[in-house]
């Protein structure tokens, strides 16, 4: 299988060759012909599968078939985070090297004026985060009447982050006749509802089930008291001579605190999260990629979509509240056949979260203790059995059987949105045999 056999032009094939790509990835093999056919596409694909080229290459080919007549944009790619927007824009630039397509990126957290100037000059492809795009629209800096192709990239994350209202506003402004591509790592009820309203008879593309990433990655759990986590992390980084490790914390504050402590301990570290300026985030990522920073500490949302090749080691300093996020996190290692390690520092108060994760990935993770770091409060080896089935049954009406979910809160806030995700993606949660309670995570 080659890129040219998928129907891509010689110019685009040459651009992939320049990147050193030899064969199209599975998502590309399916998505490229589907997009080239002009049909709507609904694709289940995570970061790391090559999805960006999967929609960008055929999109560029379709645009190259006709020159731009107005100021554009003719293709609109919406992404949840600034980092992802910047990375998608970089990809568009790389793949459009030999075609006369002009692209730009706009996102929040930086000055709006230079972005207005860029838009005024005219362009074909606009990569944008929804909030900033709406700001620009409201200031008459962008028009959507020439949009031929819309891409929603990481749609699940956009909904998690509360962008649904902005997305709906943008959709209402687009020309009715257009091609729609929806990419999402997971398909909650909320995403399906969005897809139903958006896509017309879509081609469905799916690669490897969500949890197969977890299969490739060697995972382990280090039971440790909360107060000892930083010291244990320092020891692991040193003892294992890790040069590049991505560490996840649950909060921005936690990410800052951990970064400072590691630095004090003589380990180079940088934090990446939503409160950091765009400049600081870009710099932290660049330093990490260049090997100048050994530890990159990130929150889930900031880490989403980061394109860091061959990451050998991921550490969960704290477990995520939503089990799905564990799968996303560990998906950052062991990419493209590389072997990867993901380890989790788990304190006794996180026992319930660990149980939820093990239920989702359908396996029990091996526990490893480090001498001198044995926890005073033990972690249960197995999820605790429910003591009182009658009480548990009383909880059922809320969660149902995990398939038919009740109405979700319509909140825009991250917290509530994430609760909705946990419900909507309830595979693995609430799938107990009938009569057994649907196990739920406390968010
Ligand atoms: P993505 O899932 O789009 O974030 O892509 C993940 C990484 O895979 C990026 O670094 C791409 O440059 C790389 N990539 C995309 N397509 C291919 C391919 N066909 N062969 C090798 N690497 C690829």
Going from the Cα of 53 to the center of ligand 1, the distance in angstroms, rounded, reads 7
Percent of the chain with pLDDT over 70: 81
Residue nearest to atom 15 of ligand 1 (CA): 50
Percent of the chain with pLDDT over 90: 56
Residue 433, pLDDT above cutoff 80: no
Specify the DSSP element, H or E, that contains 139. Answer: none
Greater confidence, 420 or 214?
214
Q: What is the mean pLDDT of residues 23-37?
A: 93
Max intra-chain CA distance, the chain: 69
Going from the Cα of 23 to the center of ligand 1, the distance in angstroms, rounded, reads 11
Q: Which atom of ligand 1 is nearest to the CA of 23?
A: 19
The position carrying tokens 């570290």 is 269
Specify the DSSP element, H or E, that contains 256. Answer: helix 252-264
The CA dihedral of 324, 325, 327, 330, to the nearest 10 degrees, is -170
User: Among the listed ranges 231-240, 299-308, 344-353, 398-407, which one has the minimum average pLDDT value?
Assistant: 398-407
Q: Best mutation site among 53, 79, 93, 127 for ligand 1, i.e. most ligand atoms within 8 A of its Cβ?
A: 53
pLDDT value for 129 = 96
pLDDT value for 212 = 47
Going from the Cα of 228 to the center of ligand 1, the distance in angstroms, rounded, reads 38
Residue 71, pLDDT above cutoff 70: yes
Going from the Cα of 39 to the center of ligand 1, the distance in angstroms, rounded, reads 23
Q: Which atom of ligand 1 is nearest to the CA of 49?
A: 2
Choose among 304, 307, 284: nearest CA to 296: 284
State how far the alpha carbon of 42 is from the alpha carbons of 45, 186, 294, in Å.
Answer: 10, 11, 37
Q: Best mutation site among 5, 52, 58, 184 for ligand 1, i.e. most ligand atoms within 8 A of its Cβ?
A: 52
Greater confidence, 119 or 327?
119
State how far the alpha carbon of 331 is from the alpha carbons of 213, 247, 312, 381, in Å.
Answer: 6, 13, 11, 24
The confidence band for 419, taking pLDDT boundaries of 50, 70 and 90, is very low
Model confidence over 110-162: pLDDT tens digits?
999 999 999 999 999 999 999 999 999 999 999 999 999 999 999 988 988 88
Pair of tokens at residue 313: 């080691």
Residue nearest to atom 13 of ligand 1 (CA): 50
Specify whether the CB–CB gap between 234 and 265 falls below 8 A.
yes
Model confidence over 275-317: pLDDT tens digits?
777 788 888 888 998 889 999 999 877 776 566 666 789 999 9
The structural domains of the chain, ordered by start, are 3-206 (3.40.50.300), 213-361 (3.40.50.300)
CA 131 to CA 79: how far, in whole Å? 10
Q: Best mutation site among 2, 25, 335 for ligand 1, i.e. most ligand atoms within 8 A of its Cβ?
A: 25
Side-chain-side CA neighbours of residue 245 (13 Å): 27
HEC assignment per residue over 380-402:
CCCCCCCCCHHHHHHCHHHHCCC
Model confidence over 385-412: pLDDT tens digits?
444 444 333 333 333 332 221 223 333 3
Pair of tokens at residue 257: 């605190």
CA 303 to CA 163: how far, in whole Å? 18
Residue nearest to atom 18 of ligand 1 (CA): 21
Residue 342, pLDDT above cutoff 50: yes
Going from the Cα of 48 to the center of ligand 1, the distance in angstroms, rounded, reads 6
Residue nearest to atom 16 of ligand 1 (CA): 50
pLDDT value for 310 = 61
pTM of the predicted model as reported, rounded to 2 decimal places: 0.59
Specify whether the CB–CB gap between 30 and 205 falls below 8 A.
yes
Q: Which atom of ligand 1 is nearest to the CA of 47?
A: 2
Phi, psi of 205 (to 5 degrees): -125, 130
CA 222 to CA 370: how far, in whole Å? 8
Choose among 208, 157, 289: nearest CA to 25: 208
Residues with CB under 6 Å of ligand 1 are 19, 21, 24-25, 28, 47-53, 307, 309
pLDDT value for 223 = 94
State how far the alpha carbon of 325 is from the alpha carbons of 128, 319, 350, 421, in Å.
Answer: 24, 9, 15, 10
* Strands of 39-106, DSSP E: 41-44, 75-78, 103-106
CA 16 to CA 23: how far, in whole Å? 9
Residue 93, pLDDT above cutoff 50: yes
Mean pLDDT of the chain, nearest integer: 82
The position carrying tokens 């951990």 is 258
Going from the Cα of 90 to the center of ligand 1, the distance in angstroms, rounded, reads 12
């Amino acid at each position: 299988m080659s890129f040219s056999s998928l129907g891509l032009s010689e110019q685009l094939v040459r651009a992939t060759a320049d990147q050193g790509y030899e064969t199209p990835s599975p998502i590309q093999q399916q998505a490229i012909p589907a997009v080239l056919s002009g049909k709507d596409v609904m694709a289940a694909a995570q970061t790391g599968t090559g999805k960006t080229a999967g929609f960008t290459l055929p999109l560029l080919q379709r645009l190259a078939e006709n020159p731009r007549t107005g100021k554009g944009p003719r293709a609109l790619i919406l992404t949840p985070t600034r980092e992802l927007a910047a990375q998608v824009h970089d990809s568009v630039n790389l793949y459009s090297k030999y075609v006369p397509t002009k692209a730009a990126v706009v996102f929040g957290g930086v000055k709006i004026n230079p972005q207005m100037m860029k838009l005024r000059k005219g362009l074909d492809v606009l990569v944008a985060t929804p909030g900033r795009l709406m700001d620009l629209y409201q200031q008459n800096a962008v028009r959507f009447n020439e949009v031929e192709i819309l891409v929603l990239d990481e749609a699940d994350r956009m909904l998690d982050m509360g962008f649904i209202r902005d997305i709906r506003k943008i959709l209402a402004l687009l020309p009715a006749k257009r091609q729609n591509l929806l990419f999402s790592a997971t398909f909650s009820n909320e995403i399906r509802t969005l897809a139903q309203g958006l896509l017309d008879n879509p081609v469905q593309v799916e690669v490897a089930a969500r949890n197969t990433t977890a299969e490739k990655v060697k995972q382990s759990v280090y039971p440790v008291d909360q107060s000892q986590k930083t010291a244990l992390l320092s020891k692991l980084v040193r003892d294992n001579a890790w040069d590049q490790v991505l560490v996840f914390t649950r909060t921005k504050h936690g990410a800052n605190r951990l970064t400072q402590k590691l630095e004090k301990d003589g380990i180079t570290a940088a934090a990446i999260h939503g409160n950091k300026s765009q400049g600081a985030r870009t710099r932290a990522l660049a330093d990490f990629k260049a090997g100048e920073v050994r530890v990159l500490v990130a929150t889930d949302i900031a880490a989403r979509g980061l394109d860091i090749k061959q990451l050998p080691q991921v550490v969960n300093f704290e477990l995520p509240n939503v089990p799905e996020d564990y799968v996303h996190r560990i998906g950052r290692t062991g990419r493209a056949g590389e072997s990867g390690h993901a380890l989790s520092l788990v304190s006794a108060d996180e026992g319930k979260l660990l149980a939820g994760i093990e239920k989702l990935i359908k396996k029990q993770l091996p526990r490893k203790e480090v001498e001198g770091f044995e926890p005073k409060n033990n972690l249960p080896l197995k999820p605790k059995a429910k003591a009182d089935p009658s009480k548990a049954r009383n909880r059922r009406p809320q969660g149902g059987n995990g398939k038919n979910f009740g109405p979700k809160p319509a909140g825009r806030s991250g917290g509530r949105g994430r609760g909705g995700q946990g419900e909507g993606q309830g595979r693995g949660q609430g799938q107990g045999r009938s009569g057994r309670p649907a196990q739920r995570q406390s968010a």
